[in-house]
Amino acid sequence: MARISACTYDCPDACSFVVDHDAGGRLRVRGNPDHPFTRGRVCPKGASWPERLARSDRIVRPRLQTGGKLRDISWDAALSLVAGKIEALRATPEAMLLVHGHGYRGALATGSKRFFGQLGAATVRGSLCDEAGIEASLADFGTLAHNDPRDLGSASRIVLWGKDPASSSIHLAALIRQARDAGALVLAIGPGGDASTHLSDGRIRIRPGTDRFLAAWLCRRLLLDGRVPDRLAARAADLPAFTRLLAKADPDALLAACGLPREAAQALFDFYAEPPVATLIGWGLQRHLHGGETVRFIDAACFLSGNVGLPGGGVYYNVSSSRYLAGWADLLPEPERFARAFLLPDLAAELARAEPRVAFAWVDGTNVVNQVPDARAMASAFAAIDFSVCVDAFDNDTVRRASLVLPPSLAFEREDVMGSCLHHAVNHCAHLADPPGEARSDYDILRDLGKRLSPPVLLPEPEAVLARAIRVPGLSVSLAELRARGFAEAAMPAVAFENLAFGHPDGRFHLPESLSPEPPADPDYPCRLLTLVRKEYIHSQIPPETQSGPPAAAAHPGTLAAAGLSGRATGHLATRLGRLPVSLVAEPDIVPGVVVVRRGGWLAQGHNPNVLIEPRLTDLGEGAAYYAQACRLEE
């Protein structure tokens, strides 16, 4: 019998699934046709859930590191061991570290934050993903909001600014195709290497990290040519100061920084001049040193061109996936408190200089060793912690260095509720089958562990958490109703910021205060490394058997020729942190001077580009500036 459940991957699409069995009795996942965003489609990542759940290499029993090897132990022995480690550090909770990621999303998925927050442990701060753009959006609009994605059907024009929906969101890609079929024009802006060329009517290829200069050029033209109507000018804070800032900028220098001819910039200007234009900002633009500033200038160009607050327009970047899920800290006896917070994008160095040092770590929802910059240093730093626990279902770079591995249940094997950072629906993630072996839900693991402490750390019943989580404004559904239907759509306006009313106390749109120059190029490492998203896999959740041979490094033929590598099949990718053997791929669509390697490959397989990426921070949100990495190709 078919049942409704949902995907819990770290993905904005947050799909609703119809789960049943095929004629051979094998689990089958299909997109829920009744869901307002999923609409019957399932991406390769979601479709692979049955295969992932049934893999023979899945960890299904607790494993303890002994003599360099992981051996199975009982749950009682495992949790008693962890409880003893925690008890020994109760007087110095800052020596305990929680590293919680979003590899599993949902209300109950935040249980470890509540648990270790009760203990007063240390945690991490900053972002490996989208925080620079989130902070930028808040600075501009005063709140996180965008038009309903289905409103793309009302757009006459769509700009994919650093966005690759074909790789990151098949549902957005479908909406864009439908808009094109209805007559909308689509323009893509980026350095190349994306899979969405078939979705666009035109492309503007731009040097990575320079998008803010193109957006500033647009804003300058709009303001100095008198193209900003009085009604928009009245809704902008500090417009005179912004106009003075851009008046001092040399328009030719702005375009030269992007590597763009004036004709291409003029085409973009003309494109925005005919509202409604919807702009989709990719989650790579914020990975540069000035990623926050980049998002802010794109927001400003969209606002000043009259494409915000109207049907078919708007800026799509991010909305909070928890906006329709209430926090449940009020169900706990004490407020959460964390003794200190380590900077996640530079975690290896942070751990090395920590005083007191970290003696215990709990990692869940993330393959942190693999994901942070300078991954080799992070591997050493993590291995140096006295005792570390990793909650994960599969071998990976963090599991291999953990003292203890605890196996969690996965999608369809546990119940939860979750929201989306793209659409307005809340999904029910139904428990459809028991997990294999002795795997247990993350939340049950923590509840069992908490009872073994003295005094105990008691988490509330799962039922209470789920019921509390969906008790929010805009969502009128009971837990029973959500379970029966599988999803509920929150009451939200189809158009964000209608009537140009924004979330700041003054109700206005706030413009950027500065335009930062691009840092000088490194003559020894003349290329820029971009670690772009994969279509088939989420981050490092990649089967090891698909990572044989060196990872692919794609570049423009001219970039390969400049490095003396034309016609060669293999070479090395080098930065100041070291060298990585790579398989060379010539892609004429990539801007010269750019090297593209797909993210998520394992250290253990020699596929992880993060071993070459130096820790740097974005201008906003303490994000990891992965795309600021200078590199070169060598023999």
Q: Is 274 left (phi over 0), alpha (psi -120 to 50) or beta?
A: beta
Instruction: Please give the average per-residue pLDDT across 512-520, as a whole number.
Output: 95
For residue 472, pLDDT over 80 is answered with yes
Residue 482's H or E segment, with its range, is helix 479-485
Please list the residues that pair with 237 across neighbouring strands: 510
Q: Which uninterrupted H or E stretch holds 136?
A: helix 131-141
Tell me the C-alpha to C-alpha distance, in Å, between residue 428 and each of 30, 263, 478. 15, 50, 11
Q: Calculate mean pLDDT across residues 172-189.
A: 97
Q: How far is CA 441 from CA 123, 263, 416, 468, in A?
A: 22, 57, 10, 19
Q: Does pLDDT of 24 surpass 90? A: no
Does the pLDDT value for residue 354 go beyond 80? yes
Mean pLDDT over residues 461-475, rounded?
94
* Predicted local distance difference test score (pLDDT) of residue 574: 98
Closest CA to 598 of 588, 587, 142: 587
Contact 629, 609 (CB under 8 A): no
d(CA 257, CA 272): 21
**Residues 161 and 331 sit within 8 Å (Cβ to Cβ):** no
Rounded to the nearest 10 degrees, the angle between the axes of helix 442-451 and helix 75-88 is 60
Instruction: Give the helix ranges, DSSP H, for 170-250.
Output: 170-181, 211-224, 230-233, 239-247
Confidence grade of residue 320 (pLDDT, cut at 50, 70, 90): confident
- Helix (H, G, I), strand (E, B), or coil: what is residue 582? strand
Q: Half-sphere exposure of residue 245, counting CA atoms within 13 Å on the CB side?
A: 16
Give the span between the Cα atoms of 476 and 453, in whole angstroms.
38
State how far the alpha carbon of 592 is from the alpha carbons of 144, 263, 559, 562, 586, in Å: 35, 19, 6, 10, 11
Is 80 exceeded by the pLDDT of residue 544?
yes
Q: Determine the Cα–Cα distance for residues 272 and 482; give it in Å rounded to an integer.
A: 41
For the chain, percent of residues with pLDDT exceeding 90: 91
**pLDDT tens digits along 40-99:** 999 989 999 999 999 999 999 999 999 888 999 999 999 999 999 999 999 999 999 999
The CA–CA distances, whole Å, from 311 to 150, 300, 314, 370, 424 equal: 10, 18, 8, 42, 17
φ, ψ at 399 (rounded to 5°): -55, -40
pLDDT at 295: 98
Domains parsed from the chain with CATH numbers: 63-128+322-485 (3.40.50.740), 131-317+496-510 (3.40.228.10), 527-634 (2.40.40.20)
pLDDT value, residue 98: 98
349: three-class secondary structure by DSSP: helix
- The pLDDT-based confidence of 322 (bands split at 50, 70, 90) is confident
ω into 12 cis (within 30 of 0): no
Contact (Cβ atoms closer than 8 angstroms) between residue 583 and residue 553: yes
Amino acid 195: pLDDT: 86
- Mean pLDDT, range 576-599, rounded to an integer: 97
Joined together, the tokens standing for residue 366 give: 């993330």
What is the model's pLDDT at position 612? 98
The pLDDT score that the predictor gives to residue 135 is 97
| DSSP characters over 355-413 | SSPP-EEEEES--HHHHSSSHHHHHHHHHTSSEEEEE-SS--TTGGG-SEEEPBP-TTS
Question: What pLDDT digit, counting tens, does each position of 190-249 carry?
Answer: 999 998 889 999 999 999 999 999 999 999 999 999 999 999 999 999 999 999 999 999
Is 0.95 surpassed by the pTM of this model? yes
pLDDT at position 474, please?
87
Q: Give CA 223 to chain center in angstroms.
A: 34
- Which pLDDT band holds residue 299 (cuts at 50, 70, 90)? very high
Beta bridge partners of 363: 99, 390
Q: How many Å apart are CA 38 and CA 15, to the nearest integer? A: 5
Q: What angle do CA 230, 232, 237 make, to 5 degrees?
A: 105
CA atoms within 13 A on the CB side of 279: 26
Tokens of 628: 């600021």
* DSSP 8-state secondary structure symbol assigned to residue 227: -
pLDDT band at 625 (very low <50, low <70, confident <90, very high): very high
Convert the pLDDT of each residue in 418-438 to its tens digit.
999 999 999 999 999 999 999
